């Protein structure tokens, strides 16, 4: 059996993407919670040895470190033939959504969430306005990508859905609202048997 250990934290949407994918795929895995708010050099030695950037997520697969959430999702789909990895078309769709998410919605939502976090980073109001405008464009693009399907991969969720879910789960905290199409997708994602809260994915030891 493949040994899977995920280093992450409930405040990391990128770590939540991987945790959801592992759970959706039915793969046995264990979480190791890393305090991302602590100075990097205070984090566990095993984690620092696995992550050259001292960042989460890192997925250990049989002792080999895999970093960057999008790359990890593609690795899982390819290696375990799941969440879109069952076919070339599914993998192609997953790669397309993951790369779009990283460059678009995955850029603005984390920044908006941080801007509105109590004690978070200070953003000039003009920057917040720009991020909100960017999200509005991304939200419309998401609606077109989803079309009439239940999930971004069609009838069942795939790695692309996991990627977008990472920060879309926190729209309220980011101070933005979903379109009706996105709201329906969010409801279906939350209703999945594999769905968990971030704290449930990465509980305190």
Q: What is the pLDDT along the chain (205 residues), one digit of tens a residue?
A: 899 999 999 999 999 999 999 999 999 999 999 999 999 999 999 999 999 999 999 999 999 999 999 999 999 999 999 999 999 999 999 999 999 999 999 999 999 999 999 888 889 999 999 999 999 999 999 999 999 999 999 999 999 999 999 999 999 999 999 999 999 999 999 999 999 999 999 999 7
Q: What is the pLDDT of residue 179?
A: 98
1.10.3720.10, 3.40.30.10, 3.40.1440.60, 3.30.365.10: which CATH number matches 4-82+195-201? Answer: 3.40.30.10
Q: What is the pLDDT of residue 64?
A: 98
Residue 73's nearest CA partner among 62, 64, 85, 63 is 85
CA distance 163 to 102: 8
For the chain, list the strands marked E by DSSP: 4-8, 30-33, 58-61, 64-67
> 205 Cβ partners below 8 Å, 6+ apart?
33
Residue 114's nearest CA partner among 103, 127, 97, 99 is 127
Task: Copy the structure tokens of residue 193.
Answer: 């048997």
Q: What is the pLDDT of residue 34?
A: 98
Question: Residue 190: CA atoms inside 13 Å, Cβ hemisphere, count?
Answer: 10
Domain segments of the chain: what residues? 4-82+195-201, 88-191
User: Three-class SS of residue 151?
Assistant: strand
Q: What is the pLDDT of residue 120?
A: 86
Q: What is the pLDDT of residue 95?
A: 98
Q: What is the pLDDT of residue 74?
A: 98
Task: Copy the structure tokens of residue 67.
Answer: 């970093």
Q: What is the pLDDT of residue 146?
A: 98
pTM metric for this prediction: 0.97
- Which residue in this structure is represented by tokens 């280093």? 7
Question: What topology does CATH give the domain 88-191?
Answer: Glutathione S-transferase Yfyf (Class Pi); Chain A, domain 2 (1.20.1050)
Cis peptide before 3 (omega within 30 of 0): no
């Amino acid at each position: 059996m493949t040994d899977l250990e995920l280093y992450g934290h409930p405040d990391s949407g990128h770590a939540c993407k991987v945790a959801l994918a592992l759970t959706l795929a039915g793969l046995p895995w264990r979480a190791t919670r890393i305090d991302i708010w602590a100075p990097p050099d205070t984090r566990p030695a095993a984690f620092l040895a696995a992550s050259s950037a001292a960042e989460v997520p890192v997925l250990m697969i049989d002792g080999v470190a895999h970093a960057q959430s999008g790359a990890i999702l593609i690795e899982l789909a390819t290696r375990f033939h799941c969440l879109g990895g069952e076919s070339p078309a599914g993998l192609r769709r997953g790669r397309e959504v993951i790369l779009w998410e990283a460059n678009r919605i995955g850029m603005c939502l984390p920044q908006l969430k941080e801007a509105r976090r109590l004690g978070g980073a200070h953003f000039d109001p003009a920057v917040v306005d720009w991020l909100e405008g960017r999200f509005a464009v991304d939200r419309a693009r998401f609606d077109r990508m989803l079309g009439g399907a239940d999930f971004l991969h069609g009838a069942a969720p795939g790695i692309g859905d996991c990627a977008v879910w990472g920060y879309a789960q926190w729209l309220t905290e980011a101070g933005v609202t979903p379109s009706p199409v996105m709201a329906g997708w969010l409801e279906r994602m939350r209703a999945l048997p594999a769905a968990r809260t971030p704290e449930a994915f990465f509980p305190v030891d």
